[in-house]
A and B are shown apart, each in its own frame.
Chain A
Amino acid sequence: MTRPGRFAAVLFSSSMIVVIACGGRTNERAEPGGLAPLEATGVITFGSVSLNPAREHEVFRPFVDHVASRLGEVGIGRGRVVVVDSISKMVEELKKGRIDVYIDSPFPVGFVWKRTDIDLLLRRWKRGSETYRSVVFVRADSGVKSVADLAGKMIAFGEPFSTSGFLMPKAALASTGLRLDNYEDAAASIPPDRAGYVFSNDAENTLFWVLKDKVDAGAVNEDYYQGLAGSRISELQIILTTGAVPRNLVCVRRNLDPRITDSLRALLLGMDDDEEGREVLMGFEETARFDPCPGGPERQLAGIVDLIQYVEEDVGQ
């Protein structure tokens, strides 16, 4: 999930739901409580959280059309995309049964999973990777050698709802006992027993803020770190690397017709077997494939759910 910023979020009403039908019907607004049984309507609804519903729809539409067109044997004739602007909304929509399939990062999924009945269906290899992790880094000459040394220091995270840029590293830092407070100004004075953090809203910002000594530490996706540090990587030092979490997860509402769930699982697992499927996957945020969650869904979510407690307020916003 991406979220440009809080300012942008204000632009959207908290109750706004954008429903975009696929397979020939678009911009169809869902009627609350009026969703007909799947078998009767033949529609499967995919949900996503974004402050840019049009762009999100463009990303989802080919994929949803492809999937819907291959679920005819279980009564599905077309697909639909519902974009909401907050995870809380997503929880609500899932509870009302207006969204059948929910695809998102592990922390939002864990947050939703704790609040409504969804089943973890598959792991999505978004951007070609099955898992990712975050690193917390400081300048090598900063004197900060461990997480404990961050007390009284300012940390830069990326976007507020980014798993790798904020939720996961903050949860990891908090899980060590470090208490973190959010600040608007990176130059704000921080109590010595606590760490402050600001949102840079961009991994590249985070990197330069650390390099330019605007903040004491920063957290970014490990995949980006080396690329961002580049030739100056020797000037930095990683003091924390989080555990790996699935890159993206596919969930279905628990009361969805099992035949549809089974058919959907089978369809997604085999989607990368043919050229057409691979092409659709590549257009869907460079998804390499779908595969079952290693060790089962519960194991995947267990570690995440443990960390979510440290960022529950942040995710729920």
Chain B
Amino acid sequence: MWASDRAGRRDARVRIGLRGRFIAFVSAIVIAFGVVLTALAVRVQNDRLRHELDERGKLLIAVVANHVTDSLALLDVRQLRQMINETLEQENVLDAVAFDEDGRILTDGTVENPSRHRLIGEAARQHVAVSDALLVEFSGDVMTVTMPVRLGGRPLGGVSLRYSRAGLAEDQAALARKTALVGIVFGVLGVLAAALLTEAVTRPLKEVIEATRAISEGKQAAHLQVRTADEVGELAAAFNEMTRRLRETTVSRDYVDRVLETMGECLVVTRRNGTIALANNAVCGLAGTSEEELIGRHCGELFRAPKGFASLLHALNPEGSVHGLETEILTSTGEEFPVMVSIAAMDESPGRSGRYVIVAADISERLRTERQKEEFITMIHHEVRTPLTAVRGALGLLDGGVAGDLGERGRELVANALRNSKRMERLVNDVLVSRKLDFGHMTFHLQEMELMPLVDQAIEATSSYADRHEVRFDLHETAPGARIEVDPDRFIQVLTNVLSNAVRFSSAGDVVKVSVNRHNGCLRVAVADCGPGIPEKFRDQVFEPFARAEEADWRNKSGTGLGMSISKAIIEELGGAITFDTEVGGGTTFHVDIPESDRLRESHVD
């Protein structure tokens, strides 16, 4: 049913979600922090190591210088060689020499002594000539320290050694390993922290996403738990509020689905091109096909064009809707099912290219029933009314003495039979009239004429009936010259029905008041009795066919039960209306409103 939506969701794209970006961001920050921290630590450590090495070298040269003073003074090169040789055994010492006051190397600590007689560096020589302070020179990873040696202010020479900072490099390598390790640890911690933090941050978002997705799929969204008081918590609370209001104003997709699947009426939703986008079970069952087969087909293939229209959608009114349109649904086997269609636009300005909801009710049963009724009426007309007319005629002849004197008892029996046959004839006639009205088969011969004569005729026609009930009519208000366009016989039928009803529910001696006046552009004939009033429970059924109140006195006073429904149908056919005001114990007033003839009304207004 939601194929297009599902297809849309399947169009999943590879993307880095908020979670991934958050993890990457936090990890990068933590790792960067760790690396920077470690780099600073390494730098500090390096500086410390460098300082320590430098100090160690300076201390060593000072010690050596102190020990070689006597040897330099005595020019004991052998002793110097031993001392320098021992110096060479010290850690990080690359080479060492003892030199004389001219800066010439006396010994490099070896027996071969290849450095013998060479001059030490120019800077060192110049320094030794004027200073007794330590000279420190750096070249790459090598520190050269030169210590002048003096005795009693007399320069004896000095010692110089080249000190490797390779140890520093080794320490740096160890530090690099530590840095890498710290980096890895920070990296792992960073990712872990990022994952935890991301989980904490994105879990509510994920829940919101899942809930939103559920809503988009028409499911019931779960209530989100508001865990925190921050923005995320506010989001969850806002979402809950949104879903609550949504539940109040909308129904879930599941709910709609269930409704659509269980509803008896056929429902079809069309797209803008008229093809079917949705079809419920009822229409599938009626058309004898599946939803998949219906979707995509044009609705014209499912619904026959109503009579007088090129297609179903051509029957739409300018507002894009139509109601109670009869047509047929075409089944997959070629059968046709009569349906009553109502169409409503789903868009504001649909035209014929809008989306529509088509609801179709299967009326085949109703039509069959109507056919049966028709057949019944026909049967009544031919099998009951015709013989009844013959019976009534025969009884009339008997009552008229065609068959001689029947005797008192015989006349009573004939009179009784004649009265009941007339009653039966009225009943049959009412039924036939009612049926004609239902099917629109009643023929009205409209004439423009004055109202008041018609009212007088109706009162006159009912006066004998009123006399029998000792009830009097009082026409106390009139509308002289008022004209209406009616079928006079049918209009008088309505008035006599209303008047006879008033008589029937009046007591002997009562006066039924009749008035004619103008009301809301219509002429109103009001007939008021002093009867018991219409029971409240029965008021909605007054104009229903064969309607009878439960109360015993009402049942006794009811006629065929068709009079008021026929009257209402006739008046409405004439463009008027019939209503009543009633009060239990206070009598009832029926109002028969009929449009005043326009031409005359206009002249009256003038």
Residues of chain A at the chain B interface (Cβ within 8 Å): 201-202, 204-205, 208-209, 212, 214, 227-228, 230-232
Contacts and interface: CB of A to CB of B under 8 A. Distances in A.
A228 B78 CA distance: 13
A205 B77 contact: yes
Contacts of B572: none
20 contacts: A201-B78, A202-B78, A204-B77, A204-B78, A204-B81, A204-B107, A204-B113, A205-B75, A205-B76, A205-B77, A208-B77, A208-B106, A209-B75, A212-B75, A227-B112, A228-B116, A230-B117, A231-B117, A231-B118, A232-B117
B596 interface: no
B100 interface: yes
B117 A202 contact: no
B83 to A, nearest CB: 13
Nearest to B114: A230
A212 B100 CA distance: 9
A202 B76 CA distance: 9
Nearest to B78: A202
Nearest to A231: B117
Determine the interface band of chain B, counting residues with CB < 8 A from chain A: 10 to 19
B361 to A, nearest CB: 123
A202 B77 CA distance: 8
A140 B5 CA distance: 112
A230 B115 CA distance: 10
Contacts of B106: 208
Contacts of B100: 212
A193 B129 CA distance: 40
Contacts of B112: 227
B386 to A, nearest CB: 158
Contacts of B75: 205, 208-209, 212, 214
A79 B318 CA distance: 138
Interface of B: 75-78, 81, 100, 106-107, 112-113, 116-118
Contacts, number: 28
Contacts of B77: 202, 204-205, 208
Nearest to B112: A227
A308 B112 CA distance: 31
Which residue, of B113, B117, B118, has the highest number of chain A Cβ atoms within 10 A? B117
A5 B339 CA distance: 139
B97 to A, nearest CB: 14
B78 A205 contact: yes
Contacts of A202: 76-78
Contacts of B118: 231
A137 to B, nearest CB: 15
A208 B116 CA distance: 10
Given A204-B107, A212-B100, A230 B78 contact: no
B269 to A, nearest CB: 109
A208 B100 CA distance: 10
A209 to B, nearest CB: 6
Nearest to B102: A212
Which residue, of B76, B77, B100, B112, has the highest number of chain A Cβ atoms within 10 A? B77
A230 B78 CA distance: 17
Contacts of A232: 117
A260 B76 CA distance: 47
A233 B77 CA distance: 18
Contacts of B76: 202, 205
A208 B117 CA distance: 10
Contacts of B113: 204
A199 to B, nearest CB: 11
B394 to A, nearest CB: 170
A187 B112 CA distance: 29
B158 to A, nearest CB: 15
A227 B112 CA distance: 8
A195 to B, nearest CB: 20
B123 to A, nearest CB: 22
A98 B106 CA distance: 45
A291 to B, nearest CB: 28
Contacts of B107: 204
Contacts of A212: 75, 100
Contacts of B116: 204, 228, 230
Contacts of A205: 75-78
Which residue, of A201, A205, A228, has the highest number of chain B Cβ atoms within 10 A? A205
A311 to B, nearest CB: 22
Which residue, of A208, A209, A227, has the highest number of chain B Cβ atoms within 10 A? A208
B332 to A, nearest CB: 112
B100 to A, nearest CB: 7
A134 B78 CA distance: 20
Contacts of B117: 230-232
A73 to B, nearest CB: 41
B76 to A, nearest CB: 6
